Amino acid sequence: MFFTGDPTTRKRVDLGGRSSKERDRQKLLEQTRLERNRRLWLRQQNAAAIRIQKCLRGRKTMEAEHSKVREEFYAIYGKHCQNIDRHCFGPDSRFLCQLLFFFNAKNDGDFAALGETCRLLLHVVQHNAGDLVSLFAGADYPINSALVDYRVKKLAFTFVQAVSQHREQLRDPLLMTPMESNFPLALFLEAVIVFLDPKLPWACKVVGYLLQRNTFFLFRGIVLAVKVSHFYHA
């Protein structure tokens, strides 16, 4: 094209189908959306960090409380529970309350304490005509039923949990009569069977609690451990 001598600049025509103002508007909306998403992501990250910090602080506080109660427990009942008797299972005793609060199946001291508790429990049952109701509830089960039921079902689950945690120790003693065996895991399983006697008033509640805590998953691991043990000893 030749120069015509007209100094004015011709107006540029946008052939894109949209005006520049509309494109600027779309760009601004996109930037606003991205910025809003970024702020939302930051808020979510901050909220998650706060929840994690609260969880960690709560766990540390709980561990400290467990250690405190554990020390009080051993100071009263002895490091090896040598100071316990049948009255420790009664509704007025704090023995089970403390033990079930701090018990950790991975802690060797806690595991030993639970073993002594189970031995005493089965010994009392054997020599007391199996009167578990009066052992845990005293003279009046209806009044103490809520407390007794909670302790019994919690104790039953703790026994199963302890067996599951140490299931690799399952060997031939599992086949022995628990009352004649010194094997803690066999005693724990025997105690669970005792608690599930249909004649006991809390039997159904114990079963319901074990189902609620997905205990049959733990039983599966126990059975598999026994199966593997029998395979290698066959």
Q: Which of 118-122, 127-131, 157-161 has the lowest mean pLDDT?
A: 127-131
- For 94-105, the pLDDT digits (tens) are 999 999 999 999
234 pLDDT above the threshold of 70:
no
CA distance 152 to 158: 10
Number of H helices, E strands in the chain: 8, 0
What is the C-alpha to C-alpha distance for residues 218 and 164, in angstroms, rounded to an integer? 6
57 — pLDDT class (breaks 50, 70, 90)? confident
Of the pLDDT bands very low, low, confident and very high (cuts 50, 70, 90), residue 162 is very high
Please say if the pLDDT value at position 6 is more than 80: no
Q: Say yes or no to pLDDT of 179 above 50.
A: no
What pLDDT score does 18 carry?
56
17 has a pLDDT exceeding 70: no
For the chain, the average pLDDT equals: 84
Q: Which DSSP category does 198 fall into?
A: T
Angle, helices 108-127 vs 141-165, to 10°: value is 130
Question: Cα(120)–Cα(59) distance, rounded to whole angstroms?
Answer: 32
pLDDT at 205 over 90: yes
Alpha helices in the chain (DSSP H): 20-77, 95-102, 108-127, 132-137, 141-165, 184-195, 203-212, 215-233
Residue 6: alpha-carbon gap to chain centroid: 87
Q: What is the pLDDT of residue 90?
A: 93
Top-confidence range, 3-17, 19-33, 82-96 = 82-96
What is the domain partition of the chain in residue ranges?
A: 21-67, 78-233
Q: Give the long-range contacts of residues 49-52, CB within 8 A, separation 24 or more.
A: none
How far apart are the C-alpha atoms of 111 and 45, rounded to whole Å?
40
User: Tokens standing for 85?
Assistant: 């008797």
Do 155 and 100 touch, CB atoms closer than 8 A? Answer: yes
**Helical axes 108-127 vs 95-102, angle rounded to 10°:** 140
- What's the angle, vertex CA 153, arms to CA 103 and CA 68, rounded to 5? 25
